[in-house]
Chain A
Amino acid sequence: MAVAALPRSGARSRAARRATTGYLFLLPAIVLLGMFTLYPFVQGFILSFQSWDGIGRDTPWVGLRNYQRVIGDTIFWVSLRNAAIFGLVGFVFGNALSLGMAIAVNSMKRGATFFRVAYYLPGVFSVVVVGMMFAWILQPSVGILNRGLDAAGLSALRGNWLNEPGSALPSVAAVYVWYHWGFGFLLFLAGLQSVPRELYEAASIDGAGAWARFRFITWPQLTPVTTIVSVLTLLGALQIFGTVQVLTNGGPGYLTEVPTLRIYKEAFQFQRYGVAAAMSMVFGSILVALSLIQIWMGRRLGSSEVD
């Protein structure tokens, strides 16, 4: 019996040692993530039922009052709608551009690297830099856009792009597309490169034209990439913050207000941190729901690759 027990306890102690090793390796990450992401999340949930001025230690319990305020805050819902519009514009125009240009660059024999690097360049700029660039380009009196329109004899089209109610939201949306379309472009390009060449060769032998090859090979093969890009575009658009803050700060009025900016102002401008925390919870739930959809689609992508 003793002999039989020995290897077992040896295996057990080895397993215990492996567990210790595993958690020792994980320790720095677990401490950092636990303290600065998990714990704040719990604290944020609690804060959404409290009132806090941003300075003191005093956080009196207010129950559901913060949430009632959020529900009644029409500007918050307007900001969500605006963010959804950015997402929709990014989805339609951004993805059409990304896919089109990815197909074009993929078919190139020389120079593909240059175009790939150039097209993604805007994506590495910070939100502040993008804001500053376009504040200058769209500047109403001396900005290059209005000057260019003058030079082309189209002075009638001049605009105070970021300050007029009609043009503020479309202008910010255009900047958003300019800033982010390269991301989808990269993913589409990678997706195209993984489409088996034999499919196209077979189709060519069958006499399929360019449209037929796109419709029956490229498009279905890209479906997983398309879904991921779409969800990420929407998620990214909902979280837009810096670009809007620098370009319009949500104005004119609240026409370009977005959720993160609304949360920021609620906390740091109006000192209603509890209400801001409640907004974060509502907004966070929406984003998490979307992320779950994305992961679910990612899983399907993974399994379809195996098939």
Chain B
Amino acid sequence: MAQSEPLVAPSQARAVDARAGIRAESRASASATALLGRVAFNGLLVLVAFIALFPIVWLLAGSIQTIQELYAGVTFWPAVPQFQNYWIAWTRGGFSVYLPNSVFYSTVAVLGILFAASMAGYALARVEFPGRAAVMFVILAIMIVPLPASFIALYKLLVDMGLANTRTGYLVALIAGGLPVSIFILRGFFLRQPKELEDAAILDGCNQFDIYWRVMLPLAKPGLAAVAVIQFLHAWNDYLLALVMFNSELLMPVQRGLTKFVSSDTPEQHILLAATAMSVLPIIVLYTVAQKSIIQGIMEGAVKG
């Protein structure tokens, strides 16, 4: 709607000038239409933002209410913020176990993915060797087999290897799952670097590993950052793998712990909301801080994936 304004306004203005008699009236109505259009346009933007943000705001507001306030349903900001809801979820809900677990799994998975994917991406972008095209093809092929089609087989493999219900089993599954798209994103970054830098490094007596480690990795920092935050989100938000992998509550990450908490001892709603808020607050902080990298990573992944 706002787009049409620059087009329409000049011609209207000219028309107004031509008919001086009704100038004032006509200009008033034109500006009224423009104003109406602007209000409707902004109103729509705000309405959609409200719908996008309302559920999380409602969750956060509910997470610090008493159960009476919650069920009375007239409160937004509670009379006395009940931060002990979080404490109860932390202690009785098992989040003192789940949350550190998630931090551990997500961090190690990201480090593992960065390590393996940056080396692979570098080789696929900058080292010429026979079979490179075949390797690329296989990685692409792996990428198109989605988790829902392979998690039963993955589970069987981990059972056979004695890795089901273990931290190691979960970590290797997370890392392997995150590799293909990360390799493609990082390969893209390495491809974009100028060849001259490499030649200069070779003249200085660098070997391939030096070039990767000292020249290319620092240059690919934006790519590494995008891969890191995207894969952190992925690992933190993973549910399906954690669901099939873990029986032991001591090993569960937050998403799995949250559903365990819901089903096990039917906790009260306000504690449940606090628990959910606790699982999502780190993600909201990460997203707010790193939204540029996240959005870039999502778009690179979508176009390359």
Contact = CB atoms under 8 A, between A and B. Distances in A.
Given A19-B129, A23-B129, A263-B152, A38 B52 contact: no
A78 interface: no
Interface residues of B, number: 97
Contacts of B151: 263-264, 280
Interface in A49-98: 52, 54-55, 57, 97
Contacts of B244: 264, 267-268
B152 A280 contact: yes
B104 interface: no
Q: Which of A45, A57, A103, A287 has the most CB of B within 10 A?
A: A287
Contacts of A103: 3
Contacts of B273: 132, 136
Interface in A95-139: 97, 101, 103-105, 107-108, 114-130, 132-134, 136-137
Interface residues of A, number: 97
Contacts of B52: 118-119, 121-122, 178, 182
B31 interface: no
A interface: dominant SS: helix
A140 interface: no
Contacts of B139: 29, 33
A191 to B, nearest CB: 10
B interface: dominant SS: helix
A101 B146 contact: no
Contacts of A142: 70-71, 73
Interface stretch (B79-87, B192-200, B218-226, B293-301): B293-301
B119 to A, nearest CB: 4
A40 B127 CA distance: 29
Given A23-B129, A40-B156, A44-B152, A32 B145 contact: no
A97 B176 CA distance: 34
Interface in A14-34: 15, 18-19, 21-23, 25-26, 28-30, 32-33
A128 B152 contact: no
B145 A129 contact: no
B152 A242 contact: no
A122 B283 CA distance: 11
Contacts of A288: 144-145, 149
14 contacts: A22-B127, A26-B124, A32-B116, A33-B139, A37-B180, A43-B153, A57-B160, A104-B44, A128-B276, A129-B279, A132-B258, A136-B58, A209-B4, A232-B302
Interface of B: 1-4, 6-7, 41, 44-45, 48-49, 51-53, 55-56, 58-59, 62, 70-71, 73, 115-117, 119-120, 122-124, 127-132, 135, 138-140, 142, 144-157, 159-160, 172-173, 175-177, 179-180, 183, 208, 212, 233, 236-240, 243-244, 255, 258-259, 262, 269, 272-273, 276, 279-280, 283-284, 286-288, 291, 294-295, 298-299, 302-303
Which 9 pairs, one residue from A and one from B, show the smallest C-beta to C-beta distance? A44-B153, A284-B149, A22-B129, A25-B123, A126-B237, A36-B176, A29-B120, A291-B144, A260-B148
Interface of A: 15, 18-19, 21-23, 25-26, 28-30, 32-33, 35-41, 43-45, 47, 52, 54-55, 57, 97, 101, 103-105, 107-108, 114-130, 132-134, 136-137, 142, 144, 147, 178, 182-183, 186-187, 190, 204, 209-210, 213, 228, 232, 235, 239, 241-242, 245-246, 259-260, 263-264, 267-268, 273, 276-277, 280-281, 283-284, 287-288, 291-292, 295, 298
